[in-house]
Amino acid sequence: MPLLNTPKKLLFSQGNLQIIAFSNLIDVTTLIPIDIDTLVATMIDCNGNPVPGCTNIALPNTDALGDYMGTFGDNNFYPLVGTGYTLLIDGNNGSGGGYIHFEVMVEIVSRQQ
């Protein structure tokens, strides 16, 4: 399903609480907001391995307008600084049978404080 309004790249900072938010996710074919209870996000490295501290992150639906938000990370979240990471987002609408999958590039930046 093609989507409107997905970011091109996310920046995550080592050792900090991270917020993942997607707003106004819309099916480009129907122009209807994506309404799935919860999306799940997992970050992978350039070799396809899950990044510790960012696997199976729940992104609950915050309203019926295609808005989703979840948090992860703490002082133990220290992947290597740089690019080469991808955030995989998946969701399954059990009642409607719909499935969504999209990917967003991630850059890890060093903690400043």
Neighbours of 45 (CB within 10 A): 16
Compute the mean pLDDT over every residue in the chain, rounded to the nearest whole number: 86
pLDDT above 90: residue 2: no
Q: What is the pLDDT of residue 31?
A: 85
**Highest-confidence range of 1-10, 23-32, 76-85, by mean pLDDT?**
76-85
CB 20 within 8 A of CB 87: yes
Q: What is the pLDDT of residues 61-106, one digit of tens each?
A: 988 888 999 999 888 889 999 999 999 999 886 556 677 889 999 9
Report d(CA 78, CA 55) in Å as an integer.
14
End-to-end CA gap in the chain: 40
Phi, psi of 58 (to 5 degrees): -75, 130
What one-letter code names the amino acid at 15? G
Helices (H), the chain: none
Q: What is the pLDDT of residue 68?
A: 92
CB 24 within 8 A of CB 3: no
